Amino acid sequence: MRVKKKDIFFQTLENMADAIVHAADYFAEQVTEFNNVDQFAKKMKEFESQCDSYTHTIIVELNKTFITPIERDDIMNLTTTLDDVVDGLEATTSRFFMYHLSEPDEHITHFAEILRNSAYEIQKAIHLLSEKKLLAIREHTIRLNDLENQGDDLLRICINELFAKVTDPIVLIKKKEIYERLETTTDACEHVANMLESIIMRNS
């Protein structure tokens, strides 16, 4: 029996979601040790380039496909928001390298776990989208919103502690930017959830 080939758009979105999980897993593993920040940054750049390639595939297919499984704008906007998640992880890692950050930081580790959990929720939601199980996606968008709230709370704790304990202005500037970039990446995960909610409303 011949297995029906999966739609190119859903397959590519699944590939992006899987890449986000791989990137977030790797990120969370590396920030507990900071053994080789140079290699860490290079590997994260590879994940970012991979997602750029998937984005390019979506754009090419949109330009040559007349009928799409969901609205064209929804496909493009969802692709962009997924790409933003890996961009955020890669941009943060590049700061570790540029700022010569070489020691573990409990707040960065906590952010990494929030982002890892968010990545898995995104992956589950995108695979449900491929199966057109739209209402089941809501469970994961709710969790993504909750994880983003955890990121907001963590940022407040980080910044408060930073200004209370750190006296070196250079260290303070570096750490503040890194914490804010991590929180912005949790926002990017929530943007994926919001985009999925829009798709659910238009297609249910």
pLDDT digits (tens, 9 = 90+) for 68-81: 899 999 999 999 99
Q: How far is Cα 204 from Cα 31, in angstroms, rounded to an integer?
A: 40
Is residue 159 pLDDT above 80, yes or no? yes
Burial class (CB within 10 angstroms; exposed 0-12, middle 13-18, buried 19+) of 82: buried
The answer, as to whether pTM is greater than 0.85, is yes
Interval 67-125: pLDDT, tens:
889 999 999 999 999 999 999 999 999 999 999 988 889 999 999 999 999 999 999 99
pLDDT at 6: 75
Instruction: Give CA separation, 184 vs 168, 180, 191, in Å.
Output: 24, 6, 10
**In the predicted model, is pLDDT for residue 167 greater than 60?**
yes
Percent pLDDT > 70 in the chain is 98
Q: What is the pLDDT of residues 139-157, one digit of tens each?
A: 999 999 999 999 999 999 9
pLDDT reading at 3 higher than 60: no
Instruction: State the average pLDDT over residues 192-196.
Output: 96
pLDDT of residue 5: 66
Cα–Cα distance, 154 to 36 (Å, whole number): 26
- To 5 degrees, how large is the angle CA 78–CA 116–CA 155? 95
| Closest C-alpha among 22, 46, 41 to residue 31 | 41
Position 90 scores a pLDDT of 97
- Kindly provide the b/e burial profile for residues 167-192, where b requires at least 16 CB atoms within 10 angstroms of the residue's own CB: eeeeeeebbbebbebbbebbebbbbb
Q: By percentage, how much of the chain surpasses pLDDT 90?
A: 88
